[in-house]
A and B are shown apart, each in its own frame.
Chain A
Amino acid sequence: MSNLLEIKQLRTSFSTLRGKVDAIRGVDLCVRENEILGIVGESGSGKSVTMKSVMGLLPKSAKVSADSLLYKGEDLLKKSEKQLQKYRGREMAMIFQDPMTALNPLRTIGYHLTEVIRRYRKVSKAEAEKIAVEMLRQVGIPSPEARMKQYPHEFSGGMRQRVVISMALCCEPSLLIADEPTTALDVTIQAQILDLLKQLKKDRGMSMVLISHDMGVMANMCDRIAVMYGGVLVEEGTVDEIFYHPQHPYTKDLLRSIPRPEITRGSRLQAIDGAPPSLHDLPAGCPSATRCAHATERCFAEMPAVTAFSATQNARCHLLAEKEA
């Protein structure tokens, strides 16, 4: 499998009133063809910012730099805003966390879809409408013809997320980035949307990046998983490696904190002690040192290097590096 997207040393910072904030501090990541890559991490760990940096969707206050940002072999960093715009939608599309605010309240669903369709295909309005109806049917919206004329407020959250997904499908992208696509939805709808995404990936052979903080969703959906913390990638591996042989202490903590049905009444949920570091005041060393039971002095002083455990799994931890050596 070749790499569709290859990120080398991505760094993103924001200039804020309280000074420069380093949100992403050197992330290496790749997305292969026809796979689902999961990015997991707590709020503020940089999951969304990483992918928004790639898409060029961050506000002007953000500064994105990287050694390279290769998409299908082309460096996105060398593209102008106009050229990047051609990539968005057609090559890589993104769907977002909150479907309630993702659509323009004053435009019909049909308008949203046909606008996107006609941007990429030279078709008449009537043809675009036909395609749009077909897309809505594909994402499981009942009586799509009638739904075309309706406005976003007449749709439920799950249905709106389906609409956004169908917008993405209209673009026929090679890479779909789903940024917590089910976080705002209730559990039954969550499962439906995730199944839909999985099905679409299978049918169309597109790659997907799924951003979530839900380990259960990850296990279910992904081929590979990247764990982010404090703006760096702490561990990366296949689903089996991450779930059965986690290496990084933070990954282990994360897995331990998944609520399990077999936990008996009265026992406490396992939480990770402490809070993620503030991006305004990042520690010099390992970002997870303050919450790590095994942390040594070195962990606080120095950012660990990446240690590889297999062709697919690697982690960023001093202790692991020492053990391997």
Chain B
Amino acid sequence: MLKYLVKRLLQAVPLLILITMLCFTLINLAPYDAMDAKVTDKMTPADIEQMREEMGLNDPIPVQYLRWVKGLLQGDLGQSLINRTNIATDLKEKIPNTIKLVLPAYATAFLLAIALGLIAGRYKNTWVDKLINSTASIGLSVPTFWVALLFIYFFGLKLDLFPVMGMHSLGEDSFEDFLHHFVLPYAVLTIGFLPDLVRYVRSSTVTQFDEEYVTVQRAFGSSSGTILLRHVSKNVLLPMITKLGMALPMLVTGAVITETVFAWPGIGVYFTTAIRNLDYPVVMVVLVLSGSLVILGNLISDILCAVIDPRIRIGR
């Protein structure tokens, strides 16, 4: 197991290098650089040239890249061009806010999806299944921001039940206040995550019920409830673990749109603002971060699978 782990971690290194290279190259291909954010009317071309030299922007691209990566490795993520703030400090403040929103929403959607999917798959082609499945299909084709706007309109504006912006009221810091702000984006996000997961669990359940071992179990007197709970569900949950690992990057970038609509002070707003303002160090760091999380998530789900699925248990 340990050998497998080390091997997988080592395999991740070149991928990570590739991600940083890609991010850096793409950003450098963009027709602007750090100077465009700093230049003011009062600067002479000579001043600008001097600043470029000082910031190292005249160095060859590989040199700049290595300098940047060296910074990343030492934990220096650089500075925002606009706010002059330390990006690492910013992230430390923003990421927890995003997690506070995404984690409960994804967990809710995940558990709900397992229940609904198993029920729909078990009662395939009955009205329960048709209700669940068609609702999921509709949900899948409805964009999140539209749901968000509807919620804002009805629950925020019409019924005036919940605030529609931010995480806290000004000057308030209580948990109740947080919850009050939390409800709408949480609901929207859960609805956003749910349909895909439900359909996944349902189709997986349907496939499992067609398996021969289900017929065998029936031939030995198992009730369909027993088969569902003791046999099918375990086979359905296994691929769900993979989904769980893959969802890891969502903790950072899973709610960009919802956060933006609700002005939730998480990564989403931070990231979109940075893009709008050509704040390229921020954009690069967020891209590298979410890319690394994809790799890490894959690794985690592989390991979880190996732990749970007896067929791929390693080192025996």
Contacts and interface: CB of A to CB of B under 8 A. Distances in A.
A104 B219 contact: no
Interface stretch (A11-19, A126-134, A164-172, A310-318): A164-172
Contacts of A171: 220-221
A88 B216 contact: no
Nearest to B233: A106
Nearest to A170: B220
Interface string B205-235: 0000001110111111111000000110011
Interface in B290-316: 309-311
Interface string A44-72: 00000000000101000000000000000
Contact of B238 (A57, A101, A103, A106): A106
Contact of A57 (B219, B223, B311): B219
A96 B220 contact: no
B240 to A, nearest CB: 13
A293 interface: no
Interface of B: 211-213, 215-223, 230-231, 234-235, 238, 309-311
Contact of B213 (A57, A95, A103, A168): A103
Interface of A: 55, 57, 85-90, 93-96, 98, 101-107, 115-116, 119-120, 151, 153, 164, 167-168, 171
Contacts of A55: 219
A90 B221 contact: yes
Contacts of A168: 220
Contact of B221 (A88, A104, A105, A151): A88
Contact of B216 (A87, A96, A105, A153): A96
B193 to A, nearest CB: 26
B229 to A, nearest CB: 12
Nearest to A82: B223
A181 to B, nearest CB: 12
A115 B223 CA distance: 12
Given A89-B222, A94-B216, 20 more contacts: A57-B215, A57-B218, A85-B223, A88-B218, A88-B219, A88-B220, A89-B220, A89-B221, A96-B215, A104-B213, A104-B217, A104-B234, A106-B238, A106-B310, A107-B231, A116-B221, A119-B220, A151-B311, A153-B310, A168-B220
Residue of B218, B220, B309, B311 with most chain A CB atoms under a 10 A cut-off: B220
A22 B234 CA distance: 37
Contact of A106 (B216, B221, B222, B234): B234
B120 to A, nearest CB: 16
Contacts of B235: 104-106
A222 B312 CA distance: 42
Nearest to B309: A106
Contacts of B309: 106
A147 B217 CA distance: 20
B230 A102 contact: no
Nearest to B221: A89
